[in-house]
Amino acid sequence: MMSLTIAKFLTALVSCATAITLLTLFPMILKVKVRELFLRQNVMELDQEVGMMKIKKEESWHVRMLTQEIRKSLDKHTILYTTLVELSKTLDLHNCAVWMPNEKRGEMNLTHELKASSSQKYRPSIPINDPDVLEIRVSERVMVLRPDSALGSASSGESAESGAVAAIRMPMLQASNFKGGTPQLVDTHYAILVLVLPIANSGGWSHHELEIVEVVADQVAVALSHAAVLEESQLMREKLGEQNRALQQAKKNAMMASQARHSVQKVMSHGMRGPMHTILGLLSMFQENLSFEQSIIVDTMAKTSYVLCTLINDVMEMSAKDNGRFLLEMKPFELHSMIKEAACLAKCLCMYKGFSFEIDVQSSLPNQVIGDEKRTFQVLLHMIGYLLSTYNGGGTVIFRAISESGSDGPDDRLQGMWRTGIPDEYICIKFEFEISEASSYPGGLVALTHDDGRRHDNDEIKRGLSFSICKKIVRMMQGNIWISMNPVDFAESMTLVLRFQIVSSTGRAIYPLGNTLEQPNSNSQFSGLRVIVADDDNVNRTVTSKLLEKLGCQVTAVSSGFECLSALTAAENSFQLLFWISTCRKWMGLKWQ
């Protein structure tokens, strides 16, 4: 009994102790429960974050995959079709389409579609002022279209029923958009990407799917911009290549034309200078045993030949240099002799054309002057030829050569500027050819009906190219030339004013004078010189041989290269001089040792 009482007592003590300890145990239990709730909430948040990370990772993986597929091509159409296919695979789309504005920007045309409708013969179009189109163009985010949207219905393909439809704007940048500003500051072209979910997907578009669409749209815009830049650069490269080929062809044509011109000039030079040199050689052979009248005629013919040679040389030099300029040959000459030769030739031409001829030369003109004798003579010949070509005979030609002191030309002011400042060692001489009607010709002057000397409505004279060249030559010699007209507008006279330097008595010893044709006929230094002349032209060969014989040379003439070689090898005594004057191709293969 005692033991039972003790047990009960101890039990009561334990119960009391337990009741006392419960006061501190309950807060601890509550604390543990609160801790457990916090841990459960943290685990749930971690699960959500892990899920979001997985979604982000999946999105990034899809974006990388789509970007790689899009960047594989540089063609605009291939990029767009790849985008449609890959987005459809990734997002499990019902259809995907791309809309672009037309050239007039009045409508949006369906240009690319994943599942094209076979029943539609033509591509559908939507007005560009459609509310959905306007809203998409001004927005940079993905927009979920209304169920009754015309853009969404036209992008659904053959199926009449479809799920949610989303659309986003894609910039279509070009290379010109990156010149002078950023793409945000210039007027760029846009396309609209429309994505249609299947009807089974009743949940609509999720947030991460919309993010994928936005990122992919940006990547597509970058790829299209890159493709546009490369396309335009390729077009520019092809255009530059075509221009380069055209320039190369033009250069080749220019070189061929230059070579052809040089060949023509060479042939013309050989064809014109050769006969003139032959004529000069023949004239030099006629200098002996001539009367005074014959000597004047021969000297005039020689002077005319020299003038013609000078004219040919000027034409060749002007054609070769392409600048229309040539150098003057300023040297002393006998003015009286030149006037006499010009008058002799003018008289011959006048008699041939049926004109009488008179000459009026001032006796006080100096004889020894410095100037370009050949070109002065050339201008005088042009003057008489020009006047005679205007009329058909029946008058008198008067040739005057006087010292110029007044001013009666068309450029009196210009002439007076240098005439007033002429020192004593210079003289101005006026040469004039005038045609007047003579009483011995009852029919009077007969004018030709061409425009060489006629006055036109603009009060200018159509003088032709030859007069322009002569006027250019005269101005280079610091002179002037003009034409005077008669009342019926025909050339009546031509006047030439030139300035010459007078050769003083001290300067005559410095400047050698005399005609080149009046040189001595022989020279003791050439006496007995053995010379071989090789030329394929009979006249040139004969003239050259005669000139060398007049100098006292022993001449052997041959007409071909083989004859020349035979003469050189068969000669007992070697030749001391070889004249080789030929341009024949058959001579080019010979090598002279």
549 and 470 in one domain?
Answer: no
DSSP result, 22-45: HHHHHHHHHHHHHHHHHHHHHHHH
CB atoms within 10 A of CB 3: 7
Tokens 């599942």 locate to 115
Q: Is residue 12 part of a domain?
A: no
Query: What is the Cα–Cα distance from 92 to 198, expressed in whole angstroms?
Result: 8
Q: How many domains does the chain have?
A: 3
Structural domain for 554, as ranges: 524-587
- pLDDT given for residue 191 in this prediction: 86
Which two structure tokens, joined as six digits, stand for 122? 């033509």
194 and 224 in one domain?
Answer: yes
Q: What is the largest CA-CA distance in the chain?
A: 199
Q: Is residue 581 part of a domain?
A: yes
Contact 433, 493 (CB under 8 A): yes
CATH code of 397's domain: 3.30.565.10
Q: Which of 469, 498, 481, 471 is nearest to 324 (CA)?
A: 469
568 and 433 in one domain?
Answer: no
CA-based angle 344:350:352, to the nearest 5?
A: 105
Query: Does the pTM exceed 0.75?
Result: no
CATH code of 99's domain: 3.30.450.40
CATH code of 535's domain: 3.40.50.2300
555 and 485 in one domain?
Answer: no
Residue 146 carries which DSSP code? Answer: P
Which two structure tokens, joined as six digits, stand for 453? 């000397």
> Among 514, 544, 567, where does a domain finish?
514
First CA to last CA across the chain, in angstroms? 166
Over its length of 593 residues, how does the chain's per-residue pLDDT go in tens digits?
A: 788 888 888 888 888 887 777 777 778 888 888 888 999 888 888 888 887 787 777 767 767 777 777 767 777 778 788 778 877 777 788 888 888 888 777 888 888 888 766 555 567 888 888 888 888 888 888 888 888 888 888 888 766 567 888 999 887 765 444 444 444 444 457 888 888 888 877 678 888 788 888 888 888 888 888 887 888 888 899 999 999 999 999 999 999 998 888 888 778 777 777 777 777 777 777 777 778 777 777 777 777 777 777 777 777 766 666 555 667 888 898 999 889 888 888 888 888 888 889 999 988 889 899 998 888 888 888 888 888 887 777 788 899 999 876 444 455 444 444 444 455 688 899 999 988 864 334 444 555 444 444 444 343 444 555 778 788 888 888 899 988 876 665 667 889 999 998 887 655 444 444 444 444 444 557 777 888 888 777 777 888 888 888 878 888 888 877 777 777 777 665 666 665 555 554 444 444 44
- pLDDT given for residue 490 in this prediction: 64
Residues in the chain, overall count: 593
> Among 235, 260, 280, where does a domain finish?
235
508 and 535 in one domain?
Answer: no
Using a CB cutoff of 8 Å and minimum separation of 24, what contacts does 119-125 make?
119/158, 124/154
Q: Is residue 33 part of a domain?
A: no
Residues paired with 334 in a beta bridge: 368
CA-based angle 58:63:66, to the nearest 5?
A: 125
Q: Which of 215, 218, 207 is nearest to 52 (CA)?
A: 207
Q: Is residue 487 part of a domain?
A: yes
> Among 491, 514, 537, where does a domain finish?
514
Query: What is the Cα–Cα distance from 491 to 496, expressed in whole angstroms?
Result: 14
540 and 500 in one domain?
Answer: no
414 and 544 in one domain?
Answer: no
Q: Are strands 554-558 and 530-535 parallel, antiparallel or unpaired?
A: parallel
220 and 115 in one domain?
Answer: yes
345 and 488 in one domain?
Answer: yes
Where does 261-381 show beta strands of DSSP type E? 331-334, 356-361, 368-371
Q: Is residue 169 part of a domain?
A: yes
Q: How far is CA 586 from CA 180, 536, 550, in A?
A: 68, 10, 31
Residue 447 carries which DSSP code? Answer: B
510 and 535 in one domain?
Answer: no
Residues paired with 127 in a beta bridge: 107
In 3-state terms, what secondary structure has residue 143?
Answer: strand
Contact 371, 330 (CB under 8 A): yes
Q: Is the dihedral of CA 276, 278, 280, 283 positive or negative?
A: negative
Query: What is the Cα–Cα distance from 125 to 99, expressed in whole angstroms?
Result: 9
- pLDDT given for residue 179 in this prediction: 47
Q: Which of 340, 379, 382 is nearest to 476 (CA)?
A: 379
194 and 97 in one domain?
Answer: yes
Which two structure tokens, joined as six digits, stand for 579? 């004249």
Contact 95, 85 (CB under 8 A): no
CA-based angle 14:19:20, to the nearest 5?
A: 95
Q: Is residue 305 part of a domain?
A: no
Query: What is the Cα–Cα distance from 198 to 560, expressed in whole angstroms?
Result: 101
pLDDT digits (tens, 9 = 90+) for 193-220: 888 888 877 678 888 788 888 888 888 8
Residues 6+ apart with CB under 8 A from 438: 356, 395, 396
532 and 455 in one domain?
Answer: no
Q: Is residue 384 part of a domain?
A: yes
Q: Is residue 428 part of a domain?
A: yes
